[in-house]
Chains A and B, each alone.
Chain A
Amino acid sequence: SQTIHQWPATLVQPVGSPLSLECTVEGTSNPNLYWYRQAAGRGLQLLFYSIGIDQISSEVPQNLSASRPQDRQFILSSKKLLLSDSGFYLCAWSRPGNQPQHFGDGTRLSIL
């Protein structure tokens, strides 16, 4: 069966510090991968999605970036965090095509 791992679960970072959130998927190959951000009490905002290695699309201009160094690994990064980067970050995967998405447990990021 397929599983998705996302870490860390919580993170507190000072303004201006770098960020690296990691997501890995097991039990499937060539998944579509997604990063979302969720503000408190709100819906999900798609940040990045990837249909393959070196195929990453950015949905929202910001100081975040994403990379996919391996088929089942998706990393969300920032060189300098802003206060507005606080939120709940969710990674998800799906099979190619119009398929359901499967989510990790999320990372709660607080910027001080």
Chain B
Amino acid sequence: SQQGEEDPQALSIQEGENATMNCSYKTSINNLQWYRQNSGRGLVHLILIRSNEREKHSGRLRVTLDTSKKSSSLLITASRAADTASYFCATDAVGQGGKLIFGQGTELSVKP
């Protein structure tokens, strides 16, 4: 079954608001990664959080990881119209040789 499941499937906010996306997974992981995909393009890696880390920041992005709940969240602060994209979590599960299992994604729309 799919390792990563994301919530919500779609999110629509106004510019300047914060956007929070959640990801749940089922098995032990080495790390969890977040990617962004603009329509019709390839994915772009945003941030990687290792299983022994609880929080990580990169610019306006904040990622948390709770291994006891097998969940992660991505927070985008002060969103901009240019943040409009699909966001995917991907898990690097233990014993899988570095292969990633992607969730179905959250489609974020930021209205100006």
Once bound together, how far apart are the Cα atoms of A105 and B4, in whole Å?
Answer: 23
From known contacts A98-B98, A106-B42, infer whether A43 and B30 are also in contact, taking CB-CB under 8 Å. no
Contact check, A105 vs B42: say whether CB atoms are below 8 A apart.
Answer: yes
Complex formed: what's the CA distance from A92 to B45 in Å?
11
Hey, which chain A residues are within 8 Å of B41, CB to CB?
Answer: 105-106
> Interface residue tally of chain A, by bracket?
20 to 34
A94 near B42 (CB under 8 angstroms)? no
Q: Per DSSP, are chain B's interface residues mostly helix, strand or loop, or mixed? A: strand
A-B contact count (CB 8 A): 54
Min CB–CB distance B82 → chain A (angstroms): 18
C-alpha spacing A94/B104, complex, angstroms: 21
- For the complex formed, measure the closest distance between the CB of A39 and the CB atoms of chain B, giving whole angstroms: 10
**Is A100 within 8 A of B45, CB to CB?**
yes
Known: A98-B30, A98-B31, A98-B92. A46 touches B99 (CB 8 A): yes
Chain B residues close to A by CB (< 8 Å): 2, 4, 30-31, 33, 40-45, 48, 88, 90, 92, 97-105, 107
